[in-house]
């Protein structure tokens, strides 16, 4: 994150004509703040400079006297990963006192891979105002991407053409999930332009993430893009196998079939606590297993390996393992504590659009709480440079 000194922030705060500044008297206008985050991330002018949103300042620059408490700072910081702005913006939230005025400062870096959308719409800064991008402006953002910095899922698959994508699925399922209906109705764009806008294509080549999510035969292009499920009767891998499945196909198909398998394998016990009350308690809470498995699919390494995500269900535990170690800012110390980083930002975005991720960074906390509420032991993690594994044990 590019740092701005307090003196530089004060200069920005006083400059009433800067296109790199937005002022909000409070955090109540959350939609407006998100639109500005989106617009600064898109950096239509190509300035490469950080945009700043001051919360606690009137439009004319007067101090609003707002109480900048921890709750407000958390609310603003959570706008980064609540799933409304995709791909995730690079931003930082701080409390400052500038010219004697307490303010919350949101600094937003220009995105490396625009366009960035808020609820399916692209917003840009035009002078001092925030407006919805025109098709021409959106095309300018698409052409600005820095191909050399792209993650694997955003790179073009040089050996594939757009005919490797299931365009019926893209048109009927994915695009309506990713773009608001009003925008689709207003902008009758040709399919190749829609693909490029959603990072599903670069020129006339699909991205690797598009092949995984929307390909007619994803495993032809990315052989490891599947989930291996084993139900084992004993506690060792050499014990008899009760059931086994290789979950292949499009990303959505893999995840939906995995949800079904997890659900039918969960055993529910009935406890009589006194007539006529009964308590039904599963040996594993379904939501915890879903979150842990989806995390494995989202954060795994897809490049340079044919290994699948593995879900091994033993008699005394469940082990979920994905290829690839921890990534970016996530460490063994802060994992599950709100730290987020994305090896596969396009896969993460696609999973969010399809409804498999409601809020980024919350998968592990949700899983831990579900396990605790159900009486299960805490999940056990194992990290190495080549894999991340989590073991879940049943409720006693």
Sign for the pseudo-dihedral over CA of 380, 382, 383, 388? negative
CATH architecture of 227-392: 2-Layer Sandwich (3.30)
**Is the Cβ–Cβ distance between 145 and 113 less than 8 Å?**
yes
Return d(Cα 208, Cα 160) in angstroms, integer.
9
DSSP string across 169-188: HIIIIIHHHHS-HHHHHH--
Return d(Cα 351, Cα 290) in angstroms, integer.
13
For the chain, the farthest-separated pair of C-alpha atoms sits apart, in whole angstroms, at 73
Angle (CA) 161-163-169 rounded to 5° is: 130
The confidence score (pLDDT) of residue 126 equals 87
Closest CA to 134 of 63, 189, 178: 189
The confidence score (pLDDT) of residue 136 equals 79
Q: Which residues of 323-359 are buried (b: 16+ CB within 10 A; e: fewer)?
A: bbbbeeebeeeebbeeebebbbbbbbbbbbbbebbee
**Is the Cβ–Cβ distance between 120 and 183 less than 8 Å?**
yes
Angle (CA) 32-33-34 rounded to 5° is: 90
The confidence score (pLDDT) of residue 181 equals 85
Under DSSP, the state recorded for 57 is B
Return d(Cα 11, Cα 7) in angstroms, integer.
6
The confidence score (pLDDT) of residue 51 equals 94
Q: For the chain, where do the domains classified as CATH 3.30.565.60 start and end? A: 227-392
Residue 320 tokens read as: 């979920």
The confidence score (pLDDT) of residue 271 equals 65
Burial class (CB in 10 A: 0-12, 13-18, 19+), 273: exposed
Under DSSP, the state recorded for 152 is G
Categorise residue 328: left if φ over 0, alpha if ψ from -120 to 50, beta otherwise.
left
Q: What is the CB neighbour count within 10 angstroms for residue 184?
A: 15
Q: For the chain, where do the domains classified as CATH 3.30.950.30 start and end? A: 6-131
* CA trace torsion 25, 77, 150, 39 (10° rounding): -10
Closest CA to 101 of 46, 56, 44: 56
Return d(Cα 271, Cα 384) in angstroms, integer.
40
The confidence score (pLDDT) of residue 153 equals 95
CATH architecture of 6-131: 2-Layer Sandwich (3.30)
pLDDT in tens, the chain (396 residues): 567 889 999 999 988 878 899 999 999 999 999 999 999 999 988 888 999 999 999 998 999 999 999 999 999 999 998 889 998 999 999 999 999 999 999 999 999 888 999 999 999 998 888 999 988 788 778 777 655 568 899 999 989 999 999 999 999 999 999 988 888 778 778 888 899 999 999 989 999 999 999 999 999 999 999 999 999 999 999 999 999 999 999 999 999 999 999 999 998 876 666 555 667 789 999 999 999 999 999 999 999 899 999 999 999 999 999 999 888 777 778 777 766 778 899 999 999 999 998 777 788 899 999 999 999 999 999 998 889 999 999 998
Under DSSP, the state recorded for 78 is G
Return d(Cα 153, Cα 28) in angstroms, integer.
36
Residue 338 tokens read as: 């709100």
Return d(Cα 50, Cα 4) in angstroms, integer.
9
Angle (CA) 116-191-159 rounded to 5° is: 90
Bridge partners of 345, per DSSP, are: none
Question: Is the pTM for the entire model greater than 0.85?
Answer: no
């Amino acid at each position: 994150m590019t740092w701005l000194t307090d003196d530089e922030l004060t200069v920005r705060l006083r400059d009433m004509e800067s296109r790199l500044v937005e002022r909000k008297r409070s955090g109540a206008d959350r939609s407006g703040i998100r639109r500005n985050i989106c617009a600064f991330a898109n950096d239509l002018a190509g300035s490469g400079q950080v945009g700043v949103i001051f919360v606690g300042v009137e439009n004319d620059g007067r101090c609003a006297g707002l109480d900048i408490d921890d709750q407000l700072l958390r609310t603003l910081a959570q706008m980064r990963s609540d799933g409304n702005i995709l791909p995730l913006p690079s931003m930082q939230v701080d409390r400052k006192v500038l010219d004697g005025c307490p303010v919350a400062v949101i600094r937003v870096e220009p995105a490396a891979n625009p366009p960035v959308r808020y609820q399916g719409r692209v917003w840009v800064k035009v002078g001092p105002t925030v407006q919805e991008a025109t098709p021409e402006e959106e095309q300018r953002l698409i052409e600005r991407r820095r191909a050399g910095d792209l993650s694997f899922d955003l790179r073009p698959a040089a050996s594939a053409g757009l005919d490797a994508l299931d365009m019926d699925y893209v048109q009927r399922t994915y695009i309506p999930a990713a773009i608001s209906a009003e925008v689709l109705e207003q902008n009758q764009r040709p399919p190749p332009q829609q693909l490029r806008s959603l990072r599903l294509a670069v020129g006339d080549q699909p991205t690797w993430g598009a092949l995984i999510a929307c390909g007619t035969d994803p495993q032809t292009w990315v052989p490891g893009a599947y989930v291996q499920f084993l139900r084992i009767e004993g506690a060792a891998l050499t014990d008899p196998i009760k059931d086994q499945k290789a979950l292949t196909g499009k990303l959505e198909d893999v995840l939906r079939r995995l949800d079904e398998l997890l659900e039918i394998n969960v055993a529910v016990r009935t406890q009589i606590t006194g007539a006529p009350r009964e308590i039904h308690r599963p040996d594993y809470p379904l939501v915890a297993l879903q979150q842990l498995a989806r995390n494995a699919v989202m954060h795994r390494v897809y490049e340079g390996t044919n290994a699948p995500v593995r879900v091994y269900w033993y008699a005394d535990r469940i082990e979920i393992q994905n290829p690839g170690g921890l990534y970016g800012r996530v460490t063994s110390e802060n994992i599950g504590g709100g730290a987020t980083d994305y090896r596969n930002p396009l896969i993460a975005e696609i999973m969010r659009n399809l409804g498999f991720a409601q809020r980024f960074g919350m998968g592990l906390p949700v899983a831990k709480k579900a396990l605790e509420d159900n009486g299960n032991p805490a999940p056990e993690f194992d990290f190495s440079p080549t894999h991340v594994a989590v073991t879940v044990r049943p409720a006693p």
